[in-house]
Amino acid sequence: MATKPSSTIEDYLMEIYDMGRAGRAVIAARLTEKMGSAAPTVWNTVQRMHRDGLVEISAVKEITLSAAGMEAAESIKRRHLLTERLLVDILGLDWADAHEEAHLIEHTITPRVEARIMAVLGNPETCPHGNPLPGLDPRTRPTTRPLSTSKTGDEWVIDGINEPAEEDHELMTFYQRNGLMPGAALKVVDVQSYNHTITVEIEGRRVTLGTSAAENLRIIVEAPAVSAEQTTDNRQQT
C-alpha cells in the first residue's frame, strides 16, 4: 500500500498489532468490542484492509497482519509510544493520562518529526509504561511475569504495565498514585488466596492490589540476555 493509511485504519492496525503481541487470536468480534463500532462496520473495514493488502483473513475468519500491514502497524505503534514519552518526559503530563492523549496526536506525526522526537528523547527503548518500541532486539528485554504469580517474601523490580491495561484510566491512576511504575522496587508482604489480593511494600508504604491490578503489572525475573548497546555495536560492525 503506497499511501499512508487513514487514521481509522491506523487505529485498526494498532489494535490488531496489540492483540497479536498479547498472544490473542484476532477475530471480528474482539475487534468490534475494542473499536466500539457496529459489527458490520468493523467487518467492512477489515475487508477493505484485506483488499489493500494490510491483513490476511483465514478460513476460520482469524485476522492477521500482512508484511505491509505489520510495517504500517509498527509505524503507528512507534509513533504512539514516542508521543507518550514526549508528553510525560518533556511536557510533564501525568503518566496516567499519556496513553489517552497520545491517541489524539499520533496520526499527525510525520517520519521527520518522529526522527526528531527520537533524538530529543535520547532514543528511548520503551514508553513511560515500560512497553518496548517496535523493532528492538527482543534479547534486550528482560524476562518478566505478572505480579499475581508472586508469593510472600518475593522482592521484585517493576518492568511495566500490560498494554491493554493502559485503556483503564482508573487503574493507571491507581498505579501512579501508589508509585507502581517501571523501575520501582517492591516486596510482597501478603498473598490472600480467598479474595485474590496481593499486598506489597513500596517506598515504605503498603499497597493492596486486586486481581486485575496484579495481573497487569509485570515484574522482572531475569535480566536481558544482551544490552541495547551490544546490539547497536554488532549492527555497526556488520
What span, in angstroms and rounded, lies between the C-alpha atoms of 175 and 121? 24
**Other CB atoms within 10 A of residue 229 CB:** 9
Residue 152: count of CB within 10 angstroms of its CB: 12
Q: Which pLDDT score, from 0 to 100, does residue 233 have? A: 52
Percent residues over pLDDT 90 in the chain: 82
Per-residue pLDDT, 226: 65
The answer on pLDDT for 11 being more than 60 is: yes
**Same domain? 185 vs 105:** no
28 — pLDDT class (breaks 50, 70, 90)? very high
Asked if residue 124 and residue 60 are part of one domain, the reply reads yes
Kind of pairing between the strands at 185-192 and 197-202: antiparallel
**Mean per-residue pLDDT of the chain:** 91
Domain assignment of residue 68, yes or no: yes
Q: In whole angstroms, how large is the CA radius of gyration of the chain? A: 19
Identify whether 238 is part of a domain: no
Q: Are residues 8 and 24 in the same domain?
A: yes
Q: What CATH number has the domain bearing residue 166? A: 2.30.30.90
**Rounded to 5°, angle at Cα 219 from 218 and 224:** 105
Q: Is the pLDDT of residue 238 over 50?
A: no
Report yes or no on 230 lying in a domain: no
Q: What angle do helix axes 7-21 and 39-51 make, rounded to 10 degrees? A: 90
pLDDT in tens, 122-140: 999 999 999 999 977 767 7
Is residue 114 domain-shared with residue 156, that is, in the same domain? no
What's the domain range around 47? Answer: 1-136
Q: How many CB atoms lie within 10 A of CB 199?
A: 15
Distance CA 234, CA 147 (A): 34
Residues 25 and 49 grouped into a single domain: yes
pLDDT tens-digit series, residues 208-217: 999 999 999 9
Tell me how far apart the alpha carbons of residues 117 and 115 are, in angstroms, rounded to a whole number.
5
Q: Identify whether 46 is part of a domain.
A: yes
Whether 13 contacts 20, CB under 8 Å:
no
- The verdict on 152 and 111 lying in the same domain is no
Do residues 98 and 114 share a domain? yes
Q: Are residues 121 and 162 in the same domain?
A: no
3-state secondary structure 138-181: HHHCCEEEEHHHCCCCCEEEEEEECHHHHHCHHHHHHHHHCCCC
Same domain, 112 and 169: no
Task: Answer yes or no: is 188 within a domain.
Answer: yes
Number of domains, the chain: 2
Tell me the pLDDT tens digit for each residue of 183-201: 999 999 999 988 999 999 9
Q: Position of cell 505478572?
A: 146
Q: Categorize the per-residue pLDDT at 56 as very low, low, confident or very high, splitting at 50, 70 and 90.
A: very high
With respect to residue 236, please indicate whether it lies within any of the assigned structural domains. Answer: no
- Would you say residue 23 lies in a domain? yes
How many CA atoms within 13 Å lie on the side-chain side of 93?
Answer: 15
Q: What is the CATH number of the domain that holds 56?
A: 1.10.10.10
Last residue of a domain, one of 90, 109, 136: 136
Does residue 33 carry a pLDDT above 50?
yes
pLDDT at 2 over 90: no
